[in-house]
Amino acid sequence: MNASTYAVDGERLWRTLAELAEIGATPAGGVARVALTDEDRAGRDQFVAWARELRCTVHVDQMGNLFARRDGSDPQRLPVVVGSHLDSQPTGGRYDGAYGVMVGLEVLRVLHDHDVRTAAPVEVVSWTNEEGARFPPAMIGSGVYAGAFSLVEGLAAPGIDGTTLGAELERIGYAGEVPCGVPAGVSAGMSDGAPQGAPDGSGRRPIGCYIEPHIEQGPILEAAGVALGTVTGVQGIRWYDVTINGQSAHAGSTPMEHRSDAMLAAARLVCEVDEIAARRAPEGRATVGTLNVGPGSRNTVACSVTLTVDLRHPDADELSAMHEELLAAAQGPLFGPQSSGGPSNDEASGAGDLRGRSLPRPQITPIWYSPPIVFDPVVVEAVRAGAAAAGFEAMDITSGAGHDACYVSRVAPAGMLFIPCADGLSHNEAESILPEHATAGAQATLHAVLALAS
């Protein structure tokens, strides 16, 4: 099969992205298709309709992961799968996740237009709840598929609005019956560059290899003036929930030395979180993304604070050290004199301004760990070669964000392709990409799929 014969329709891809963005559109130009809302259901319905126009079979597994399949000529070949996710942040951009699913759809359209029959089946997947905005943690759908979470854990995931993931899947009509995960005894692998293995009749849907096209969500490609990035791996991520309990008191009549101020303790922890990453520049990342204060009165000392911490690094040992430093900070002199055996305030650099006061200590609960990922070399090379066949020299890059490909890589050869986004801005309604970059990424993906599926 001569892959150079076939070309994606860039204008069609751009129209499709625009049409999908009308579902859950926000006044500021972004989208709000938060997982398992009515808007998410409408986005899923539209994808299913487009796939069925191409005579693809569609199946939904127990986690609501959505697959569209174009059969191949060899029943022993596992599918080459392209995809990402359709859910968004509450005020998200129109390309995060959606780009990868729509690129997969465009690949199916090209195969359909030219009546191309690949040896391996080609599938497009939209994973459930990649963002984790409504049902934390992120990437639950692909996580259950890969065995990182049990099906029970996935369906029971509590929503921030008091719902559960499983109940909302039922409500929107996307609680599938197909078992979620890899069949027992099936170990997908690559032999001479071809995905090998066969289903076991259980109904589970194995993946031969997986490609996830995505916007970079960072500034590196744009700064380098490069149209495509070959993603060689993903940095590790750790998430934490933090609770700080102090005591409410009158803002005017309570002397400073008599306060147990949860907000002051939170401020010290937030600054320390930033320092943990700064000590590992330029690769370290640390973010406090949410902060809630009680009782929430301007003339009352805060009695409680809850906040979240996100730590990231591409090196597992460094990320582990960041984890230990965060836990140690909560027990250290930032929050007052140590118990027996610990250093005094005077011995701790920067702690002297506490003036002997003790602040309420943070209680830190780790809730999620995604280790650093190195993607499969065969898939990485297929993406790199696909970019070259499309006329681009792709830049090797490590992803700073977590993606479904992280979990899929546990059970199948996986890789990713990035295109630039303006100013590296994502998780924002102003998220923007160029049509020519969108087309380039789709063309490179088409070449890679044809190589892996032929």
pLDDT tens, position by position, 344-375: 333 333 334 456 678 999 999 999 898 899 99
Q: 258 φ, ψ to 5°?
A: -100, 10
Whole-number pLDDT of residue 363: 98
| pLDDT band per the 50, 70, 90 thresholds, residue 437 | very high
Q: Look up residue 390 and give its two tokens.
A: 């499309």
Cβ–Cβ < 8 Å for 234, 373:
yes
The Cα 45–Cα 48 span in angstroms is 5
Read off the tokens for 81: 């799968």
pLDDT above 90 as % of the chain: 86
In total, the chain counts a number of residues equal to 454
CATH of the domain spanning 236-369: 3.30.70.360
Bridge partners of residue 445, in order along the sequence:
none
Q: What CATH number is given for 3-235+372-453 in this structure? A: 3.40.630.10
135 has a pLDDT exceeding 90: yes
User: Is residue 83 within 8 Å of 104, Cβ to Cβ?
Assistant: yes
Q: With beta carbons less than 8 A apart as the criterion, state whether 265 and 362 touch.
A: yes
Q: Whole-number mean pLDDT of the chain?
A: 92
Distance CA 112, CA 102 (A): 15
CA 182 to the chain's CA centroid = 21
Question: Mind listing the pLDDT tens digit for each residue in 188-208?
Answer: 454 444 444 444 445 678 999
pLDDT of residue 192: 46
- The predicted-structure confidence for 414-431, as pLDDT tens digits, reads as follows 999 999 999 999 999 999
Task: Tell me: cis bond preceding 282? Omega within 30 of 0 counts.
Answer: yes
* One-character DSSP codes across 175-194: ---BPPSPPTT---EEETTE
Q: What is the Cα–Cα distance from 434 to 216, expressed in whole angstroms?
A: 13
Share above pLDDT 70 across residues of the chain, in percent, rounded to a whole number: 90
Backbone angles phi, psi at 90, to 5 degrees: -60, -35
Domain range summary for the chain, segments of one domain joined by +: 3-235+372-453, 236-369
**Quick one: pLDDT band at residue 183, thresholds 50, 70, 90?**
confident
| Residue (of 128, 99, 111, 127) closest to 16 by Cα position | 99
Average pLDDT, stretch 20-45? 98
Inter-residue contact 429 to 408 (CB < 8 Å): no
Give CA torsion, residues 68, 72, 75, 80, to 10 deg: -60
Q: What pLDDT is recorded for position 343?
A: 35
- DSSP code, position 314: S
> How far is Cα 140 from Cα 152, in angstroms, rounded to an integer?
11
Q: How far apart are CA 195 and CA 411, in angstroms?
A: 12
Phi, psi dihedrals of residue 178, rounded to the nearest 5°: -70, 130
- Within 10 angstroms of residue 184's Cβ, the number of other Cβ atoms is 8
Residues 301, 294: Cα–Cα separation, whole Å:
9
Tell me the per-residue pLDDT of 168-182, one tens digit each, with 9 for 90 and over: 999 999 999 999 998
List alpha helices for 161-300, DSSP H. Answer: 165-172, 220-224, 262-278
Distance between CA 367 and CA 295 in Å, rounded?
25
Q: What's the pLDDT score for residue 5? A: 83
What pLDDT score was predicted for residue 186? 52
CA distance 434 to 442: 13
pTM of the model: 0.81
32 pLDDT more than 60:
yes
What is the rounded end-to-end Cα distance, in angstroms, of the chain?
A: 7
Higher pLDDT, 192 or 252: 252
User: What pLDDT score was predicted for residue 234?
Assistant: 92
